[in-house]
Amino acid sequence: MKHKVATTVNGRRHEHEVEPRLLLVHYLRDNLGLTGTHIGCDTSQCGACTILVDGKAVKSCTMFAVQAEGRNLMTIEGMAKDGELHPIQQAFWDEHGLQCGYCTPGFIMAAALCRCTGYVNIVKAVQTAAKTMSATPAKKATVTAGGN
């Protein structure tokens, strides 16, 4: 029996009928076409599937899509605004903060760690982003549940 799920993802409201066992990572990738959220280890260890749920980092492979009902979700695709990369994304670009790139969304969304890199450029990217973000006045964001 399918269940209706209504979520707000990257500022857009979505509604779908899904199987109760569908993982959120598969909902994002297969139903919404947001393939920046990766499936990495199948054990919830790597963080390649990390997204923000109501502003908190969550490994989307550990949550069912039906649990996201009424929640605000942000994926790596939702970080850029008006064609401008988020300062963390820009710093990763500028400092070449990746190795193969597969785990990069997890790094950016929640500082997840990868097994195959030395982290030198990733550390540089985080330091660059911290400097950039500390120099920019913070804007207060308002998040409304249910996308209203």
Nearest to 126 by CA among 148, 102, 104: 104
Put simply, whether the predicted model's pTM sits higher than 0.85 gets the answer no
Domains of the chain plus CATH, in order, are 3-134 (3.10.20.30)
Task: Look at residue 138 in the predicted model and tell me its pLDDT.
Answer: 53
What's the pLDDT tens digit per position in 84-120? 999 999 999 999 887 778 888 888 888 777 777 668 8
Helix (H, G, I), strand (E, B) or coil at 135: helix
Nearest to 106 by CA among 127, 135, 76: 76
What is the C-alpha to C-alpha distance for residues 122 and 115, in angstroms, rounded to an integer?
Answer: 13
